[in-house]
Amino acid sequence: MTAVETDREQVLRDAARTALAAPSVFNTQPWRWEAGPDRLCLYADRRRLLPIADPAGRLLTVSCGAALHHARTALAAAGHDVEVRLMPDQADPDLLAALRITGPHRPALAELQLRAAIKRRHTDRRPFTSEPVADAVCWALIVAGEREHAHVHLVDVDQIAVLAMAAVRAGALQLSDADYRAELADWTHRPPWSGEGVSTETTVRAVPRRVPVRDYAPFGGQTMHAGRDTDAGARYLVVFTDEDTPVAWLHAGQALSAVLLTAAVHGLGSAPISDVTEVADTRDELRRLLPGLGEPQVCIRIGHAQPGEPALTTRRPAEESIKPGTRARR
């Protein structure tokens, strides 16, 4: 390879490394990156599929979409214009996206802020405070998500009861399923050195909230202290799409990432909520909240976080998920 190709491959590898901070369902990190001198490819790692919670791989693909947006954000902030092709090879459905640097790019302040937010954004499962989220910030989150070719619905105050009941029902249905309980136990009791899964130490016990969150510790285990807050000031958003296809799922994942990073830019805490879309019945209930026809993909809880940092989920070593591209191996 020439020096230019070597430098470009390193730039792409750095973007893939940044993307490893993206959120994923059950912290499965279901992606594989291949970095070569001319492009960066994102593959679905279906060995990390959740067969009970996510049998179709919808949330796996949404998670990969979030990683894709992280990589795009890193490249834009580093001064590179990028061409992105989604599902570029019909013969290989696991190849979700291919990125190619096409020239220089002068990053805008907003892009630099989003890149900086990647290091600060963490899923916070603690209840948020009673301080309300400003309407202007909610609008900024909606705009950020809709720029990614998806839709974002801000749940109205009078709709929160529907969302809460959907969350209660999703939790009850899932925990009544022995196969789901086994899958949950598997992904919440991973060895610390694995860098994957949701350790109970990053979760909180069930406490009164406006909208219940997934119980990651029904079998016991050390958890974070929930505090006295109840999400009284939290707002809820639904990321939805016109279609329910892998390409739409990738758009939803990129919108999810854009909303979460924008929330971090504004100093807010956030947490994706996927259990209400994992159960067919409760996903149907979410459709009633939307302003029109659409496919709910994932919800988001945002708000002002309690003092102190939440316990952080771990990540797998970069070498496990970033490999040289095929051209680089020749």
> pLDDT by residue (tens digit) across 271-311?
999 999 999 999 999 999 999 899 999 999 999 999 998 98
Please tell me the distance from the alpha carbon of residue 64 to that of residue 271, in angstroms, as a whole number.
17
Residue (of 239, 232, 311, 301) closest to 273 by Cα position = 301
Q: What percent of the chain has pLDDT over 70?
A: 97
What's the alpha-carbon Rg for the chain, to the nearest Å? 19
Please tell me the distance from the alpha carbon of residue 60 to that of residue 26, in angstroms, as a whole number.
10
Q: Under a CB-based contact definition with an 8 Å cutoff, are residues 91 and 65 in contact?
A: no
Please tell me the distance from the alpha carbon of residue 325 to that of residue 330, in angstroms, as a whole number.
9
Give the three-class secondary structure for 242. Answer: coil
> CA neighbours within 13 Å on the CB side: how many for 149?
11
Mind listing the pLDDT tens digit for each residue in 6-35?
Answer: 789 999 999 999 999 999 999 999 999 999
User: Which domains does the chain carry?
Assistant: 3-119+320-329 (3.40.109.10), 135-303 (3.40.109.10)
Is pTM beyond 0.85 here? Answer: yes
- Max Cα distance, the chain (Å): 60
Residue 330 has a pLDDT of 32
User: What is the mean predicted confidence (pLDDT) over 134-156?
Assistant: 98
Mind listing the pLDDT tens digit for each residue in 160-216?
Answer: 999 999 999 999 999 999 999 999 999 999 998 999 999 999 999 888 999 999 999
* Identity of the amino acid at 35: A
Residue 329 has pLDDT above 60, yes or no: no
Give the three-class secondary structure for 163. Answer: helix
CA 4 to chain centre: 33
How sure is the predictor about 242, in pLDDT bands with cuts at 50, 70 and 90? very high
Residue 196 has a pLDDT of 97
Q: How many CB atoms lie within 10 A of CB 299?
A: 26
